[in-house]
Amino acid sequence: MKKLFLILFVFPVLFYGNDVNTPSNIKEVTVYLNGAQITRNAQLILLPGTNAFTFKGLSPKIDESSIQIAGLQSASILSLAFDVDFLTPSTDSPEVALLKSQITVVNRKIAALKNTISGLEEEQKVINANRLVSGGNLTLDLDKIKQISTYYRERITTIKNEIFDANIEIDSLKRDSVAYQKQMTEINNSPVKEQGVIRLKLNTPIAISIPLQISYTIKDAGWIPHYDIKSVKASDPLQLTYKAHVYQKSGVDWNNVKINLSSGSPTLNVAKPNVSPKYLDFVNRYAKRKQQAIKKQKYFYNPSINKVTGQVTDASGMPLPGANVLVKGTSYGTQTDFDGNYTLEIPNGQELVISYIGFVTYEVPIYSSLINCRLEEDAQHLDEVVVIGYGISGASSGVRVRGASSNSNYTITPEPTTPLYIIDGIPVDGFTEGDLDESEIQSIEVLKGSNAEALYGNRGVNGIILITTKKSNFIEGMTNTMFEIKKPYSIISDGDITAIELNSFKIKAHYEHFAAPVINENVFMTATFQDWEEHNLLPGEANIYFEGRFAGKTTIDPYTTKKEMTLSLGIDPNITVTRTQNRNFKSKSFTGSNRILDRTYELMVKNNKSVPIQLKLMDRVPLPQNKEIKMDDIQTHNASYDAKKGLLTWELQLAPKQRKTESFSFKVKYPKYKSISI
**Exposure pattern of 154-185 as b/e (b: 16+ CB <10 Å)?**
eeeeebeeebeebeeebeebeeebeebeebbe
The per-residue pLDDT for 278 is: 72
Across the range 94-113, mean pLDDT stands at 86
Could you give the CA distance from residue 301 to residue 357 in angstroms, rounded to a whole number? 27
pLDDT digits (tens, 9 = 90+) for 70-84: 999 999 999 999 998
Whether residue 314 is found in the same domain as residue 353: yes
Q: For the chain, how far is it from start to end, CA to CA, in angstroms?
A: 97
Q: Is residue 647 part of a domain?
A: yes
In a 3-state reduction of DSSP, which class is residue 72?
coil
pLDDT band (50, 70, 90) for residue 92:
low
Q: Note the pLDDT of residue 154.
A: 83
Confidence at residue 416, expressed as pLDDT on a 0 to 100 scale: 47
Verify that 127 and 200 share a domain, yes or no: no
- 26-37 residue pLDDT tens: 999 999 988 999
Which residue among 200, 218, 236 closes a domain?
218
Per-residue pLDDT for 536 more than 90?
no
pLDDT exceeds cutoff 70 at 1: no
Are 177 and 318 members of one domain? no
In a domain, 196, yes or no: yes
CB 513 within 8 A of CB 575: yes
Domain containing 642: what range? 575-671
Question: 76 and 51 share a domain?
Answer: yes
- Band (pLDDT 50/70/90 cuts) for residue 562 is low
Element (H, E) at 364: strand 362-365
The answer to the question of residue 107 being in a domain is: yes
Q: Is the same domain home to 106 and 173?
A: yes
For residues 42-46, give the mean pLDDT: 94
Is the pLDDT confidence value at 109 over 50? Answer: yes
Domains in the chain: how many in total? 4
3-state secondary structure of 519: coil
Q: 196 and 86: one domain?
A: yes
> pLDDT tens digit string along 565-608?
888 888 899 999 999 988 664 555 666 788 888 899 999 999 99
In degrees and rounded to multiples of 5, residue 663 shows phi and psi of -150, 165
Please check whether residue 485 is in contact with residue 470, taking contact to mean a CB–CB distance below 8 angstroms. Answer: no
The predicted structure's pLDDT at residue 396: 36
Evaluate whether residue 202 is within a structural domain.
Answer: yes
154 shares a domain with 106 = yes
Convert the pLDDT of each residue in 341-364 to its tens digit.
899 988 888 899 998 888 888 888
Beta pairing partners, 630: 669
Model pLDDT, residue 595 = 87
Average pLDDT over residues 157-180: 88
Q: 148 versus 527: which is more confidently predicted?
A: 527
| 528: pLDDT strictly greater than 50 | yes
Bridge partners of residue 472, in order along the sequence: 485
**Domain's final residue, options 136, 167, 188:** 188
CA dihedral 216, 220, 221, 226 (to 10 degrees): 160
Instruction: Say yes or no: 590 and 663 in one domain.
Output: yes
Q: How far apart are CA 23 and CA 91, in angstroms?
A: 12
For the cut 80, the answer to whether the pLDDT of residue 408 exceeds it is no
| 436 or 616, higher pLDDT | 616
Say if residue 386's pLDDT is above 50: no
Does some domain include residue 331? Answer: yes
Query: Which domain-ending residue is among 168, 188, 208?
Result: 188
Domain assignment of residue 157, yes or no: yes
Q: How far is CA 39 from CA 458, 618, 652, in A?
A: 51, 54, 58
Residue 42's pLDDT is 95
Please tell me the least confidently modeled range out of 415-419, 545-549, 551-555.
415-419
Same domain, 68 and 204: yes
Cα 282 from chain centroid (whole Å): 52
The more confident residue out of 494 and 433 is 494
Is pLDDT of 284 > 60?
no
Residue 624 in any domain: the answer is yes
Strand 489-491 to 498-507 pairing: unpaired
CA angle 219, 221, 225 (to 5 degrees): 140
Query: CA dihedral defined by 641, 645, 651, 654, rounded to 10 degrees?
Result: 110
- Mean pLDDT of the region 285-306: 66
pLDDT at 399 over 50: no
284 is a domain residue: no
The pLDDT of residue 389 is above 50: no
- Please determine, for residue 5, whether its predicted confidence score (pLDDT) is greater than 50: no
Percent with pLDDT over 90 in the chain: 29
**352-361, 484-493, 551-560: segment of lowest average pLDDT:** 551-560
- Does the pLDDT at position 256 exceed 90? yes
Long-range contacts of 335-343 (CB under 8 A, 24+ apart): 336/311, 336/312, 339/311, 340/311, 340/312, 340/313, 341/309, 341/310, 341/311, 342/309, 342/310, 342/311, 342/312, 343/307, 343/308, 343/309
Look over the chain and give the mean of its residue pLDDT values, rounded to a whole number. Answer: 80
Say whether pLDDT at 388 is over 50: no
Residue length of the chain: 678
Say whether pLDDT at 199 is over 70. yes
At 390, the pLDDT band (50, 70, 90 cuts) reads very low
Q: Give dist(CA 430, CA 98) in Å, integer.
A: 44
Chain segment 128-168, per-residue pLDDT in tens: 777 655 545 455 567 777 777 788 788 888 888 888 888 89
50 and 197 share one domain: yes
Higher per-residue pLDDT: 106 or 273:
106
Top pLDDT among 600 and 93 is at 600
Under 8 Å between Cβ of 668 and 677: no
Asked if residue 201 and residue 59 are part of one domain, the reply reads yes
Domain co-membership, 162 together with 184: yes
Alpha carbons 619 and 633: distance in angstroms, whole number? 17
In angstroms, how far is CA 546 from the centroid of its own chain? Answer: 21
Is the Cβ–Cβ distance between 651 and 613 less than 8 Å? Answer: no
Residue 650: CATH number of its domain: 2.60.40
How far apart are alpha carbons 411 and 400 in whole angstroms?
A: 5
Asked if the model's pLDDT at residue 188 lies above 60, the reply is: yes
pLDDT on residue 597: 87
